[in-house]
A and B are shown apart, each in its own frame.
Chain A
Amino acid sequence: MAELHLKSVEKTYGNGFKAVHGIDLSVKEGEFMVLVGPSGCAKSTTLRMIAGLETTTGGEIHIGDKVVNDLVPGKRGIAMVFQNYALYPHMKVHRNLSFGLKLKREPKDKIERATAEVSGVLQIEELLDRLPKQLSGGQAQRVALGRALIKQPEVFLFDEPLSNLDAKLRASMRVRITDLHKRLRAEGRPATVVYVTHDQVEAMTMGDRICVMKDGHIMQVADPQTLYQRPANAFVAGFIGMPEMNLVPAELTPGAAPVLTLHGQSITIADGLASRISGVQGAVTLGIRPQQLEVVAAQSDNALTAEITNLEFMGHEVNLHARIGDADFVAVVPSERFDTTLQRGDPVGLKPIGSHIHLFDAQNGSNISIAAD
């Protein structure tokens, strides 16, 4: 196992389109790094550059102590799991697993031992004599995983491996992969993993650290908790978390108890904000997670008055959609605390919890409320 470093890595396509803009990323030995972002953010391109399936047009990729830019994929010490499994359809599972070792001309008994071990770990022993078309999605994904595992690579690369599975299977495979990662670590052979997904649940539950990307730039690299609690910018704040964080333009008047004004309504934030925003004033973007937006009676003190536009009953909680002017808000209220008399069109009070308020620069979107935190 080895570390992986990307240093100012760039990708410009032949037609002049720049997909990746000089990104720097370090993945520690044995770390589970998730690349996440909306489609078109170049996360897959980045992964394919690490694999050597795309050429790198600038910067360096280090795996261990080697620069691998000019090495073919087979010589980089990587293994990859593809989105649609990419099993060789004309080979039985056994040969699918051992193909890489055979190409390396490993001795036969070693190949057999490795195949047996990997199929034991992934519980695919009974599938060894089947063709890929005779496998279910979950089985095929396990074989694909086995094909990566058997090579004992320096770095594992996963390209949205679970997106072809149904929700239930996806959840169980998620657990299986993280369990495997932990087990390998416990057995003293930690696996360095780069895992690409567009699904933030996968990212949050699987990653040791998460790298959020947008339009070929890295927005933030952090562990899931930091990413959720201290997003570096409005994009990360909006991308991580369900439902999305409320982001609305507001006016900030600093002071011991700062005042936020939006659409003619002002609220004073008594606690948890003043210490974090020294020197900030004027136009900002207010960010507050739906779970941290209290729903109170309309016209309450220090609450914004909004009109309910929709109510979604989720079972254990209610998503309350409300509007102030052209600003939309979502608040999540636990079912048992929800006032069932509220109807669409009713006025309602929304009160952001001061210690959870984020303020973002109105121009560049960077988080200006975490500096002194």
Chain B
Amino acid sequence: MVDLTQTPPNTSDALQRKLKRRAKISATIRYSVLALIGLIMVYPLIWMIGASFKTNAEMFSSPSFWPKEPTLQGYIDGWKTSTPYTFGHFFLNSLWIIIPKVIGTAISCTLVAYGFARFEFPGKNFLFATVIATLLLPNVVTRIPQYLLFRDIGWLDSFLPLWVPSALAGDAFFVFMIIQFLRAIPRDMEEAARVDGANTLQTLIYIVVPLLAPAIISVCLFQFMWTMNDFLGPLIYISSVDKYPVSLALKLSIDTTEAFAWNQILAMSVLTLIPSLTVFFLAQKYFIEGISTGGVKG
């Protein structure tokens, strides 16, 4: 044991300075490593943004991300596309899928999760097991039966197969996520609301939904990003070009031209990223609260 009372003051000062210096060095090393790895991970993205302002000729001649002669030509030509429609049209198509899907998911998953988390009803355990089972089922397995089903309903080449299942709480993952979040919320508030005279629906709307907000926002965000990025779904169900969402439209520019106009593809890829990034940063605070609470406390 070191007897601190016996240590002269100047020694303890020196010791403190040493500790401080050590902490500084350690922090510098840690952050340098983090920054380096972060940069490696984000470099393709940075390169893509830079390259979208390059000419096609420059793109493969220099590895640097900074364009020598910055040009907006990629954006201008890319926006026009090789089809009769502008890229804006494809953005709108994506939007027509995303909006009903996100809203429907938020509402339906909240309702279903509320039911599972708070009510007793016959067959609850079996139904819940079914929901979890679908969570474990790989997507690919259901592709063909789903396709046949939607073909028989006559929904091929429409947006419906892309959003209706999700809007009817078809995404078990989100239901599960909200249930886990709900389990961490004490029931007293809901009981207080019932004593205050609220019926089940009023309790859900006035009390449960505000408490669930972080989880619901996370669900919306996930659904937004995943739908925006979904390529396989539209590829399977949508055949006419005028209904293509952006994910298919990007591929379109690769298909139709013989010499790929990479600068146009990259420029449109950058535009495609913007909505997801914007939404993510707007909702970041709630998003992190939502996934951490749901995950840790659940």
Bound form: Cα–Cα A84–B186 in Å: 10
When C-beta atoms are compared, the residue in chain B nearest to A153 turns out to be: B195
Interface residues of B in 187-226 (CB under 8 A from A): 188-189, 191-199, 202, 206-207, 210-211, 213
Size of A's binding interface in residues, CB under 8 A: 25
Interface residues of A in 61-108 (CB under 8 A from B): 72-75, 78-80, 82-84, 86-90, 99-100, 103-104
Residues of B within 8 A of A75 (CB): 197
Q: Could you tell me if A79 and B197 are in contact, using CB atoms closer than 8 angstroms?
A: no
Q: Could you tell me if A82 and B191 are in contact, using CB atoms closer than 8 angstroms?
A: yes
Given that A89-B211, A90-B210, A90-B211 are known contacts, is A73 also in contact with B186, CB under 8 Å in the complex?
A: no
Residues of A within 8 A of B120 (CB): 14
Q: Could you tell me if B191 and A88 are in contact, using CB atoms closer than 8 angstroms?
A: no
Q: Could you tell me if A88 and B192 are in contact, using CB atoms closer than 8 angstroms?
A: yes
Q: Could you tell me if B191 and A53 are in contact, using CB atoms closer than 8 angstroms?
A: yes
Majority-rule SS of B interface residues: helix
Q: Could you tell me if A89 and B194 are in contact, using CB atoms closer than 8 angstroms?
A: no
Is residue A147 contacting chain B, with contact meaning CB distance below 8 A? yes
Bound form: Cα–Cα A151–B197 in Å: 10
Q: Could you tell me if A88 and B207 are in contact, using CB atoms closer than 8 angstroms?
A: yes
Bound form: Cα–Cα A200–B202 in Å: 38
Q: Could you tell me if B195 and A74 are in contact, using CB atoms closer than 8 angstroms?
A: yes
Interface residues of B in 173-196 (CB under 8 A from A): 186, 188-189, 191-196
Least CB distance, B242 to chain A, in whole angstroms: 44
Is residue A211 contacting chain B, with contact meaning CB distance below 8 A? no
Residues of B within 8 A of A83 (CB): 188
Q: Could you tell me if B196 and A100 are in contact, using CB atoms closer than 8 angstroms?
A: yes
| Of B189, B194, B213, the contact of A74 (CB 8 Å cutoff) | B194
Residues of B within 8 A of A221 (CB): none
Residues of B within 8 A of A86 (CB): 186, 188-189, 191-192
| Of B193, B199, B202, the contact of A88 (CB 8 Å cutoff) | B193
Least CB distance, A22 to chain B, in whole angstroms: 24
Is residue A284 contacting chain B, with contact meaning CB distance below 8 A? no
Is residue A51 contacting chain B, with contact meaning CB distance below 8 A? yes
Bound form: Cα–Cα A358–B88 in Å: 91
Q: Could you tell me if B206 and A79 are in contact, using CB atoms closer than 8 angstroms?
A: no
Bound form: Cα–Cα A84–B191 in Å: 12
Q: Could you tell me if A100 and B191 are in contact, using CB atoms closer than 8 angstroms?
A: no
| Of B188, B193, B195, B207, the contact of A78 (CB 8 Å cutoff) | B195
Q: Could you tell me if A103 and B192 are in contact, using CB atoms closer than 8 angstroms?
A: no
Q: Could you tell me if B199 and A72 are in contact, using CB atoms closer than 8 angstroms?
A: yes
Q: Would you list 19 pairs from A and B whose C-beta atoms are within 8 A, ordered by A residue?
A: A53-B191, A72-B194, A73-B195, A73-B197, A74-B196, A79-B195, A80-B192, A82-B188, A83-B188, A84-B186, A84-B188, A86-B188, A86-B189, A86-B191, A87-B192, A88-B206, A99-B206, A100-B197, A103-B202
B interface list, Cβ under 8 A from A: 120, 186, 188-189, 191-199, 202, 206-207, 210-211, 213
A interface list, Cβ under 8 A from B: 14, 51-53, 72-75, 78-80, 82-84, 86-90, 99-100, 103-104, 147, 151
> Shortest 7 CB-CB distances between A and B: which pairs?
A74-B197, A86-B188, A100-B196, A86-B192, A90-B210, A103-B197, A73-B195
